[in-house]
Amino acid sequence: MTHALPRDLSCPRIATRPGGLELSRVVAGMWRMVEWNMTVEQRIAFIEQCLALGVTSFDHADIYGNYGVESLFGEALRAQPSLRARMQLVSKCGIKLLSNKRPQHGIQHYDTTAAHIIASAEESLRQLHTDHLDLLLIHRPDPLMDFDEIADAFTRLKQAGKVLHFGVSNFSRHQFEVLNRRIELATNQVEFSPLHVAPMFDETFDGLQDLGIAPMIWSPLGGGRLFTANDANAENLRLVIKDIADRLHQPFASVVFAWIMQLPSRPIPLTGSGRIEAIKVAVAGAGFQLARQDWFAILRAARGHEVA
């Protein structure tokens, strides 16, 4: 069963921490943009449709699309410069991929040295055709990361006006708090969905809620597996969500986004789609709350057992 979306959909805004960076409540994730095979004109149209919905924040990483996504997005901004002032640009650095674009990388590895962070940020600015990033994240925790060195690199980028806010991605609660003591962090972008609920139980969300900092969420639909996984647990989870969606006359994915955004740590989910209809479905999830019993019904199905 499909359910019609409200015509006057508008994405609200949220501060990631008190007095800090403001993002749209749903962020448009760009990691698959190479696969969308859009012309420059189509990319501009897609960005404009997102902005018209109130989805003003766009998530990138230097490595996305084999180091290709930022330049595709940057071509759109070069062709339509007025778009930049209406959006927030997020990017990530710290992973060195084996790639024909980076022949000097002999092994896939992490690099969170100050030199690499600064060089990556400056390259992202060039590729995105902008003079500043609104938010820069360390993409993955690095066993060789020096917290003081990262904080120093962030400070230098901020003083130069090249990056306005900083954060991390995939960090543990402890790693986040250690770096946050050295420089104010805006967010920790982590994987979370009904198929991956660990951040609710490993202190990630609790620690961020304690600090008043909203996590960003990648893969909120389990990378599409919520729709396709055929093991018994996933099939039961899908039935539970579909039953709630039908009862509320809401799209299936809207219920998932609402379930995520209902957490008191105020998670900010990313989309991964180049279809504006999919973005609208995500935004619709910001417009309603689930009854506590329905929320827990999804959690029970996600974990495969009752709360005890």
- Cβ atoms of 240 and 270 within 8 Å: the answer is no
Give me the mean pLDDT over the 249-270 stretch.
98
Residue 301 reports pLDDT greater than 90: yes
Give me the mean pLDDT over the 67-89 stretch.
98
Residue 96 reports pLDDT greater than 90: yes
Q: What does the chain come to in residues?
A: 308
% of the chain at pLDDT higher than 70: 99
Position 1 confidence tier, pLDDT thresholds 50, 70, 90: low
Give me the mean pLDDT over the 218-247 stretch.
96
Question: Which pLDDT score is estimated for 4?
Answer: 80
% of the chain at pLDDT higher than 90: 97
Q: Concatenated DSSP letters for 115-152?
A: HHHHHHHHHHHHHHT-S-EEEEEE-S--TT--HHHHHH
Residues acting as catalytic residues: 64
Position 308 confidence tier, pLDDT thresholds 50, 70, 90: confident
Give the mean pLDDT of the chain.
97
- Cβ atoms of 47 and 84 within 8 Å: the answer is no
Question: Which pLDDT score is estimated for 7?
Answer: 84
Q: How far is the C-alpha of 12 from the C-alpha of 19, rounded, in Å?
A: 17
297: left (phi over 0), alpha (psi -120 to 50) or beta: alpha
Question: Which pLDDT score is estimated for 3?
Answer: 83
What is the pTM (predicted TM-score) of this model?
Answer: 0.97
Residue 112 reports pLDDT greater than 90: yes
Residue 109 reports pLDDT greater than 80: yes
Question: Which pLDDT score is estimated for 199?
Answer: 98
**Tens digit of each residue's pLDDT (9 = 90 or more) over 19-49:** 999 999 999 999 999 999 999 999 999 999 9
Q: How far is the C-alpha of 97 from the C-alpha of 302, rounded, in Å?
A: 33
Residue 2 reports pLDDT greater than 80: no
Angle at CA 12, nearest 5°, toward 6 and 15?
A: 165
